[in-house]
């Protein structure tokens, strides 16, 4: 009997999603021939291909934004406000779709992704108050028959360049105030998780934002460099790592642009001997490992002061085995994978370099990572870390928490202030006087008192000091409105006008 040879079953490779640009109200497939891979980090496989823009494609987007600007800035404040409310409604309605995209491409767990969208929504809500926010001042009769008033006007075309770790929220920090102020916008999102930018573009269009007001250019440094030198781009907002932030600030300002460039971080949580140890340990664990440590406000160093160190380290350590690491779509997962294999491997490398430099490894996430191809690393804890070690000096941006032991409050303060970064910090204590002194003395932009991740609410502004921010203005909140507008002061004298007419209708704004 002859056996029939059967063809081996071929596993069909799932089709890759193509992620393209959004220019002048439509998806525009890239034509540069350059692309980058997009992964599902929990599965460790490529799921998409994102187009990388050429200089010409960036120019098309800027031209669309420039063409849309005159009509957009002329639209009444009342109409723009109505649109902001509609945008708010649509983003709220589609928050789960946005969150799913974040989990798929970034890896963060779904509840965290929803939290990201929620914090972004709060910035949009703040911008719904734009008529109030753009109010100027008025001084009557500064001289006989002369009044003086101030107004704020939009800049024109502004660009946003954003990082991988908040693919929906950080763009919202930029486009919501920029658009509300009357600017038109070109977004260059991270090439690692670009899909949320396109859903955002569709939602803005559905809300009624005119074509060309919001554009998305996918890509890498080619697109960024073009935005930095483009003569029609008036301002650049950047959020990302410190070396790139510095480059963006230096190049953008050299080219005459207004720039706010937010950089990396190394956030210290100081725990004083009088702190509630259980509460401090809960806070440290939540703030260090949430979103796999890929937050610019994550706590990466706990500074244990005096005899709090031993019980605090023990309290942190005993919480670690209870953390569930897994695919972000699984509701039982509390921490997802890292964004790429390379990043996971770089983060894991500190678990070798730190002990070689004298630290103690209390938890090694390589041993507890879920099996499979996903870019997972379990939670990791290093004790006896010193400022000379790479694990202390580098922004690891992963689930690795370092403990630095010091003897006094003054030593703790000195450590925080000597660090080149100044994004966030926190102090845990029951002593209000010491907490207030810390708030007064510390050279950091965002401070938490018994709050581990002090991200300001939308009606304050977000930003660090030192190497965590280049530029004069923090992002969103009142400083965001200032960044996206420029002031004008008018001095006026009027002859007696005779222009009145009778109209018994109820006064309308539109």
Footprint of ligand NAD (CB under 6 A)? 161-166, 170, 188, 190-191, 220-221, 224, 239-241, 244, 262-265, 296, 395, 397, 423, 464, 468
CB of 439 to ligand NAD, least distance (A): 20
- Taking CB atoms, the residue at the shortest distance from ligand NAD is 240
Which of residues 134 and 198 has its CB atom nearest to ligand NAD in the complex? 198
Strands 299-305 and 446-449: unpaired
Alpha helices in 255-308 (DSSP H): 277-289
Calpha distance 290→333 (Å, rounded): 11
The residue from 127, 128, 181, 296 that is catalytic is 296
127 is catalytic: no
Which of residues 212 and 464 has its CB atom nearest to ligand NAD in the complex? 464
Instruction: Using the Cα atoms of residue 53, residue 245, residue 179 and residue 189 in order, give the sign of their dihedral.
Output: positive
151 in Cβ contact with 229 (< 8 Å): no
Strands 400-406 and 421-422: unpaired
CB of 8 to ligand NAD, least distance (A): 41
Which of residues 81 and 200 has its CB atom nearest to ligand NAD in the complex? 200
Calpha distance 365→306 (Å, rounded): 28
Query: Nearest to residue 350, comparing CAs of 334, 337, 366, 338?
Result: 366
483 in Cβ contact with 183 (< 8 Å): no
CB of 162 to ligand NAD, least distance (A): 6
Strands 146-154 and 157-161: unpaired
Which of residues 163 and 378 has its CB atom nearest to ligand NAD in the complex? 163
Which of residues 221 and 366 has its CB atom nearest to ligand NAD in the complex? 221
Tell me, what DSSP letter sits at residue 215? E
Which of residues 154 and 290 has its CB atom nearest to ligand NAD in the complex? 290
Tell me, what DSSP letter sits at residue 358? T
Calpha distance 175→182 (Å, rounded): 10
CB of 405 to ligand NAD, least distance (A): 25
CB of 196 to ligand NAD, least distance (A): 13
Tell me, what DSSP letter sits at residue 119? H
CB of 70 to ligand NAD, least distance (A): 29
DSSP for 300-320 reads EEEEEEGGGHHHHHHHHHHHG
Query: Nearest to residue 50, comparing CAs of 17, 72, 88, 11?
Result: 17
Residues acting as catalytic residues: 296
């Amino acid at each position: 009997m002859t056996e029939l040879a059967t063809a081996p079953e071929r596993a069909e490779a799932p089709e890759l999603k193509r992620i393209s640009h959004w220019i002048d109200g439509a998806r525009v497939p890239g034509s540069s021939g350059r692309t980058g891979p997009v992964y599902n980090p929990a599965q460790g496989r490529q799921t998409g291909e994102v187009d990388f823009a050429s200089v010409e494609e960036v120019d098309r987007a800027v031209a669309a934004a420039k063409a849309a600007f005159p009509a957009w800035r002329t639209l009444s404040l009342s109409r723009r406000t109505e649109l902001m409310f509609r945008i708010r409604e649509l983003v709220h309605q589609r928050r789960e779709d946005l969150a799913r995209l974040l989990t798929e491409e970034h890896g963060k767990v779904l509840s965290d992704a929803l939290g990201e969208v929620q914090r972004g929504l709060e910035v949009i809500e703040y911008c719904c108050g734009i008529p109030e926010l753009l109010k100027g001042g008025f001084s009557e009769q500064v001289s006989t028959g002369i009044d003086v008033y101030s107004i704020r006007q939009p800049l024109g075309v502004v660009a946003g360049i954003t990082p991988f770790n908040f693919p929906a929220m950080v763009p919202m920090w930029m486009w919501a105030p920029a658009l509300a102020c009357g600017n038109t916008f070109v977004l260059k999102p991270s090439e690692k998780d670009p899909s949320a930018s396109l859903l955002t573009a569709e939602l803005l269009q559905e809300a009624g934002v005119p074509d060309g007001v919001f554009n998305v250019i996918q890509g890498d440094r080619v697109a960024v460099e073009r935005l930095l030198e483009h003569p029609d781009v008036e301002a650049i907002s950047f959020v990302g790592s410190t070396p790139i932030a510095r480059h963006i600030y230096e190049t953008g300002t050299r080219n005459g642009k207004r720039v706010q460039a937010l950089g990396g971080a190394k956030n210290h949580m100081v725990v004083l001997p009088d702190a509630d140890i259980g509460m401090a340990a809960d806070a440290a664990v939540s703030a260090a490992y949430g979103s796999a440590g890929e937050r610019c406000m994550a706590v990466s160093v706990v500074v244990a002061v005096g005899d709090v160190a031993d019980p605090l380290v023990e309290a942190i350590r005993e919480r670690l085995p209870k953390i569930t690491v897994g695919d972000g779509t699984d509701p039982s997962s509390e921490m997802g994978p890292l964004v790429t294999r390379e990043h996971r491997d770089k983060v894991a490398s500190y678990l070798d370099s730190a002990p070689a430099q004298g630290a103690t490894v209390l938890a090694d996430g390589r041993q507890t990572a879920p099996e499979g191809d996903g870019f997972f690393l379990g939670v990791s804890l290093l004790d006896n870390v010193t400022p000379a070690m790479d694990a202390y000096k580098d922004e690891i941006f992963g689930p690795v928490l370092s403990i630095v032991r010091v003897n006094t409050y003054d030593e703790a303060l000195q450590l925080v202030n000597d660090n080149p970064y100044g994004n966030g910090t926190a102090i845990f204590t029951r002593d209000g006087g010491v907490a207030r002194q810390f708030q007064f003395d510390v050279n950091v932009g965002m401070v938490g008192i018994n709050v581990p991740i002090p991200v300001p609410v939308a009606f304050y502004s977000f930003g660090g000091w030192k190497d965590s921010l280049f530029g004069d203005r923090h992002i969103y909140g009142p400083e965001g409105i200032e960044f996206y507008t420029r002031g004008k002061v008018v001095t006026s004298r009027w002859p007696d006008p005779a222009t009145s007419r009778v109209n018994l209708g109820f006064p309308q704004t539109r």
